[in-house]
Amino acid sequence: MLISEFDYNLPRELIAQKPLVRRDDSRMMVVRRREGTIHHGQFTDLSGYLNGGDVLVINDTKVIPAKTWGVKDGKEIEFLFLKEAGPDIWEVLCRPAKKIRPKDRILFASGFKGEVVGSGAKGKRLLQFPGGKVHDFLHRIGFAPLPPYIKRARAEAGLRDYDLERYQTVFARREGSIAAPTAGLHFTPEALDGLEKKGAIVCPVTLDVGQATFQPIEVETVEAHRMLEERYEISADSADIINSAKSEGHPVVAVGTTVVRTLESAWSEAGVAPGRRSTSLFIHPGHEFKVVDRLLTNFHLPRSSLLMLVSAFAGVELIREAYALAVREKYRFFSYGDCMLII
C-alpha cells in the first residue's frame, strides 16, 4: 500500500495554533463504522456515547518541558531533550546539527553546561551534564515541545507558561513524554466526573510519547515503514478493568492513538497483560484489533502513521471521506484542534 494514499490537502489556516479558551469547547465529528455515516457534534456530547460499565482508557503520561536553546561558539542551537540515555547523559535532537560534534561544550541558560559525548543520525547527539539535575534545569527554563506546525516566536515569552499548561492533559501524572497525547487535551475534571457519575470507568495506562509517534515516514510503501520503540506501562488494576470489560461485553474506548498502540501491544490470548514494556507496533490497514472498540482521536497529519492507524480502525475510504468533510466544514486540525469519535 502506498504512503501517498494517505495524503490530503489541508489549508494552512485550519491548523490550530492555540487551544480554545475552554478545553471542552472543541467540535467532535462522530464516525459510525458499521453504518458508514458521519455526524457533527461537540466534545461535550461524549457522555451520550458511553454507558455504565463502559471503559474509557486514558494515557496519563506527562509532557517534559523538553525544548530549550544553548550556545556553542557564540551561535544559538535549538535542543529537544528526547530521553535519558545513561547516568547524567541525555539523547537530544539539535538544530542546526551539522556543526555539533563530540567534545563540543554547550552553554545553556543559568550557567548550565553540557558536553557532546556521542553522535547519531538525523540530528541526534548525546549530551553529558556533570552533576546531573537535568529535570530541574528543564523545569526552570524549558519550553513545551510543541510540534513544528505550531508557530511560536521566541519573543512570545508570555506563552511559555500558557503552553506548558495547555499542552498537558488534566490527568497527566507520570512524566516522560516529549509530545502530548493530544486526544486527552479536550477533557476537563468536570467532564471526567460526569462520565464516572454515569457509570463509565476511567482507566489509566501510560505510554511515554517519543519520536515514534511523530517520526516522518520516508519510505514509499506502508509495509516498509518501521516504528521506533516507545515505553508503556499497564498496572494490574487497569489490566483487570479492561479484561473484565472485554469479557462482559462492555466497549473499551481508547482516548488517542497512544492508548490504542498500548492496548494492542499488550494483548495476548490471555487478555491485556500488565507490566512495563516497549513497543514498536505499527498499526496500519490490515491490522485486526483485539482490544479497542471505540476511539477518540484528533485530526492527524497527512502521510503520518497516526492517520494510518485511524484508517485501519475505521476504514481507509471512510476516513478519507471524513477528512474531506472536516476540511469543508473548517474543523481545527492537529494537536490543538478538534476531535473525532469513531464508534
Beta bridge partners of 298: 339
Residues of the chain short of pLDDT 70, as ranges, are: 154-157
Question: What is the predicted pLDDT for the residue at 67?
Answer: 96
Q: Can you say whether the dihedral through the CA atoms of 279, 207, 244, 311 is positive or negative?
A: negative
Q: Do domains 3-63+169-342 and 67-142 have the same CATH topology?
A: no
CB 133 within 8 A of CB 81: no
What residues contact residue 307 under an 8 Å CB cut-off, 6+ apart? 6, 300, 301, 319
* pTM for the predicted model, two decimal places: 0.95
Question: What is the predicted pLDDT for the residue at 223?
Answer: 96
Question: What is the predicted pLDDT for the residue at 237?
Answer: 99
Q: Measuring CA to CA, which residue among 213, 241, 243 is closest to residue 228?
A: 213
Question: What is the predicted pLDDT for the residue at 202?
Answer: 98
Question: What is the predicted pLDDT for the residue at 131?
Answer: 81
What residues contact residue 229 under an 8 Å CB cut-off, 6+ apart? 210, 212, 278, 279, 280
Domain borders along the chain are: 3-63+169-342, 67-142
Superfamily for domain range 3-63+169-342: QueA-like (3.40.1780.10)
Question: What is the predicted pLDDT for the residue at 83?
Answer: 93
Domain 67-142 has CATH 2.40.10.240: yes
3-state secondary structure of 259: helix
